[in-house]
Amino acid sequence: MPSLIEAFFPLFEKHNVDCILIGGWAATAHGSLRSTVDINFVYSRTSDNLDRLVTALAPHHPYLRGAPSGLPFVFDQATLRAGLNFTLTTDIGDIDLLGEVTGGGDYHRLLPFSVQLEVLGFTCRCVTLEKLIQLKRAAGRPKDFEAIAELEALREEREAR
Amino acid sequence: MCDNVAIEKQTSSIDAIIEIYKKDVDRTLLRENLKLTPSQRVEKFGEFLRQQAEIRGAFQKSVKES
């Protein structure tokens, strides 16, 4: 089974979806050794990009993660416009699509704090290590303390090289 | 807007907590990982998850059979 990166990066690249990788997989790319079970992106909410996002993901049957089955959820532009942050299951894995993130704002605010990442032959934007630490800190969740400690240790190790 | 959250560079009790956690970080593993490219790190982690799923599957199968 492909990893979440292998599943979503080619899809988003193929459909030119504007999004920035954050969260655990971004931490992995920066050198973290902590595990994660979903993948998190901040996506652009321009009309064109919402169309591209729907085209890319709809064939993989996105559904609200944790919600009872059988709800009349439709993954289309109207749904995306009506909401902001979506935690979804799909045929190819769990994904969080965030219109805004605490401490980072929306896609366009976060863009200057991202780098182009080439992984397994595919490219995607990834939040910088510094910004990732800020996002984790801004979230203020006790469960993130260990992750923040590791990310800060990574930053120190990188600076010492 | 949720990005208006002030992220000030002043020391807080959270910093003290994170410093405590930081003492337990295995930096030897981080240093080894930093020798890899981002792509190699992602690939390695993907492989780790695959193996983890395989072990989990094998365990569940053995429980069912026993």
Site of tokens 């949720």: B2
Least confident of A14-23, A48-57, A103-112, A133-142: A133-142
- Give residues with Cβ within 8 angstroms of A117, minimum separation 6: A21, A29, A123, A124, A125, A126, B38, B39
The whole-chain average pLDDT of chain A stands at 95
- Decide if pLDDT at A15 tops 90: yes
Reported as a single tens digit per residue, the pLDDT across B42-63 is: 999 989 888 888 898 898 888 8
The confidence score (pLDDT) of residue B1 equals 46
Q: Which two tokens stand for residue B22?
A: 């930081």
The answer, yes or no, to whether ipTM is higher than 0.90 is no
- Give residues with Cβ within 8 angstroms of A16, minimum separation 6: A52
**pLDDT over 70 for what percent of chain A?**
100
Min CA distance, A101 vs chain B (Å)? 7
Query: Is residue A93 within 8 Å of residue B53, measured between CB atoms?
Result: no
The confidence score (pLDDT) of residue B9 equals 59
DSSP letters for A28-59: HHHT-----SSEEEEE--SHHHHHHHHHHHGG
**Cβ distance of A29 and B2 shorter than 8 Å:** no
Q: Which two tokens stand for residue A143?
A: 């469960």
- Decide if pLDDT at A31 tops 90: yes
Show residues of chain B in contact with A146, CB under 8 Å: 21, 24
The confidence score (pLDDT) of residue A161 equals 85
| Mean pLDDT of all residues in A36-61 | 96
Show residues of chain A in contact with B1, CB under 8 Å: 100, 105
The confidence score (pLDDT) of residue B6 equals 54
Please give the model's pTM, rounded to 2 decimal places. 0.89
Chain A residue with CA closest to B7: the answer is A138
Higher pLDDT, A114 or A120: A114
Query: Is residue A53 within 8 Å of residue A41, measured between CB atoms?
Result: no
Give the separation between CA A86 and CA B25, rounded to whole angstroms.
Answer: 32
Reported as a single tens digit per residue, the pLDDT across B5-42 is: 555 556 788 899 999 999 999 999 999 999 999 999 99
The confidence score (pLDDT) of residue A158 equals 95
| Mean pLDDT of all residues in A137-154 | 93
